[in-house]
Amino acid sequence: MKKKAILLDRDGTINVEKDYLHKIEDFEFEKNVVDALKIFSSLGYTLAVVTNQSGIARGFYTEDDLIKLNNYINDRLNEYGVNIEKFYYCPHHPEKGIGKYKVECQCRKPKTGMLDAAIKDLNIDVENSYMIGDTLADIDAGFNAGLTSILVKTGHGMETLEKLGDRKVEIYNSLYDFALKLK
């Protein structure tokens, strides 16, 4: 049976936006995010992260650095009874990448490679699932993959509001505010 899921952007949605975050000591949850994720879990949603990480492509940090931080995030969430099923990430950038990371890939949002992989791997029911993020890339990736896109005003969300154009998207102050709506 297919599962309902919430695919989440990471930076600016789950954690406070800090350019090219890769150090555990710089990590900080957005306000009430743990409570929001607890609500989603209690409602039976499978949780996964889909995140562009061009800092890898630019040589600012390594894939190992990213994996360590993602594991740390999940370990912290596990303490509250929340589990991110899987972290998907795009380490590429078509212009600013270095070496093997300078490619035009299918995984970098707004393309749907990461979302498609999550949908397949986790057996996601697209019609009853969401993509939540703070940028147009997040919103468009969700739409492009057939999910319902939600914009949060945390991170780059306020700037994104001005760029939405005619996109039909629900907008919430935070992940927690959306969780309360679903509850």
Q: Among all residues, which ones are annotated catalytic?
A: 9, 11
Cα(139)–Cα(13) distance, integer angstroms: 12
Q: What string of H, E and C letters represents the secondary structure of 67-113?
A: HHHHHHHHHHHHCCCCCCCEEEEECCCCCCCCHHHCCCCCCCCCCCH
Q: Which helix (H) or strand (E) holds 31?
A: none
